[in-house]
Amino acid sequence: MDATPAPDLEPAESTVRLALRHWRTVAAIWLVAALAWTPAVYLTTGGETAPVHILTTFGGMLLHFAPWALATPLFLALGRLLPLGLGRTAPHVALLLLLAVVVTPLLTAVGVAASRVVMIGLGAWQSDGLFAGFGRAATITSLFSLPTYVAMVAIGQITAYFARYRERERLLSLARAQALRAQIAPHFLFNALNAISELGYSDAAKADAAIVQLASLLRDTLDRPDWTSVREEVAMIADHVALHRMLLDDRLAFSVTVDPDAWEARLPAMLLQPLVENALVHGISRLPEGGAVTLRAARDGADLRIVIANDAPADVPTGSGGIGLANVRQRLAASFAGAAALAFDRAATSATATLRLPFEPAR
């Protein structure tokens, strides 16, 4: 997925696009409204005394509500542009009432005119012409349409409220995820500097090379986006492992196995780094003979499954706590709202961390 989020649309533009994207739902709602009004209109406007078929009445109701359906994006935009309950309720209510005086008669007049045109064409209009009694009919229908206006304004306000709520939740989740990610760099830096400090006493040249590698890793860490792909994450992990290989006198074996369709899967940036760090610091570094770390990633139905396994000393509870596993679990909760999980298993001489998260291709 792109590193930089798309810029926010202007409120009116975004609500219009939202309505157009869900035009089928909008059309279905107004179709139901026309169906609900048809029996009452049929019985009260001559269904018993004039030869008007109920289907003709239904068609007239569709035409009556058509302008309101087309104006649905406007009402959604009004909910965004004139929100209630955010400190400007009184002036916004006044503006909405003023718009009612303009919008309701306008939409009603268009609907009445369209209905009459069609009924005249079908020969079902028994009058002297299109505009005979038009003003009176439009005025009466406008008064009956005021509840429709109120309902549409209410729907616009409710839609805008939930949009603001979702946006607040998204921003809170993003802030939480970024705060958790910010914990990783100091933790990693502390571990790396401690190891380099010890190495400096025995091999100054290698310690200097490790510092250069560490500086490069930190630059990459600062420049990384919030979301990345498995391919980019594995590349960063490889650089991380290269640093630790220097610190461990090449007592580290590292292997990666990724299924072809998992390379471009999307995941939060630096999600795997704490797990690999955990395996290296609490596992491999405590084995005099060194050991191996393996990373496997594969698509498993609708999920992405990532397994990080490492050799570990038998007498140390590798990674059973601390910032690494806790950080990853909290980031999964912040990013996937319960749809992802981390499992940690400790065997006699090995440890395995298994990540499961929704599979989504990165763009």
* Distance in angstroms (rounded) separating the CA atoms of residues 64 and 222: 59
Q: Do 37 and 161 have their domain in common? A: yes
| Domain final residue pick, 138, 168, 198 | 168
DSSP letter for each residue of 228-250: EEHHHHHHHHHHHHHHHHHHTTT
Q: Do 129 and 247 have their domain in common? A: no
Contact 80, 160 (CB under 8 A): yes
Contact 151, 37 (CB under 8 A): no
Burial of 76 (0-12, 13-18, 19+ CB in 10 A): buried
239 domain-assigned: yes
281 pLDDT higher than 50: yes
Q: What is the mean pLDDT of residues 243-267?
A: 88
The whole model's pTM is what? 0.53
Q: Do 219 and 76 have their domain in common? A: no
What CA–CA distances, in Å, run from 11 to 6, 26, 152, 158, 214? 15, 19, 17, 15, 45
* Distance in angstroms (rounded) separating the CA atoms of residues 313 and 301: 34
Q: Do 215 and 342 have their domain in common? A: yes
Dihedral sign of CA atoms 184, 186, 189, 191 in order:
negative
| Domain final residue pick, 119, 138, 168 | 168
199 domain-assigned: no
Strand intervals (E) in the chain: 227-229, 252-258, 266-268, 291-300, 303-311, 341-346, 350-358
What CA–CA distances, in Å, run from 152 to 71, 104, 279? 10, 11, 58
175 domain-assigned: no
49 pLDDT band (50/70/90 cuts)? very low
Dump pLDDT digits (tens) for 6-16: 334 444 445 55
Question: Please, what is the average pLDDT of the chain?
Answer: 77
More confident residue, 343 or 174: 343
Classify residue 5 by its DSSP letter.
Answer: P
Q: Do 227 and 326 have their domain in common? A: yes
183 pLDDT band (50/70/90 cuts)? low
Q: What is the mean pLDDT of residues 215-228?
A: 73
The residue range of the domain holding 105 is: 11-168
Q: Do 26 and 107 have their domain in common? A: yes
329 domain-assigned: yes
Contact 248, 332 (CB under 8 A): no
State how many domains the chain has: 2
Contact 362, 312 (CB under 8 A): no
**Percentage of the chain exceeding pLDDT 70:** 74
Q: Do 271 and 324 have their domain in common? A: yes
User: For residues 136-175, b (16+ Cβ closer than 10 Å) or e, as one string?
Assistant: ebbeebbeebeebbeebbeebbebbeebeeeeeeeeeeee
pLDDT at 1: 36
Dump pLDDT digits (tens) for 50-100: 556 777 778 777 887 888 888 888 888 888 888 887 667 888 888 888 888
pLDDT at 193: 75
pLDDT at 298: 96
Q: What is the mean pLDDT of residues 256-262?
A: 94
47 pLDDT band (50/70/90 cuts)? very low
Classify residue 80 by its DSSP letter.
Answer: H
Q: Do 144 and 74 have their domain in common? A: yes
Q: Encoding tokens for residue 305?
A: 């499954």
Q: Do 43 and 118 have their domain in common? A: yes
Helix (H) or strand (E) holding 192: helix 134-202
The domain spanning residue 350 has which CATH number?
Answer: 3.30.565.10
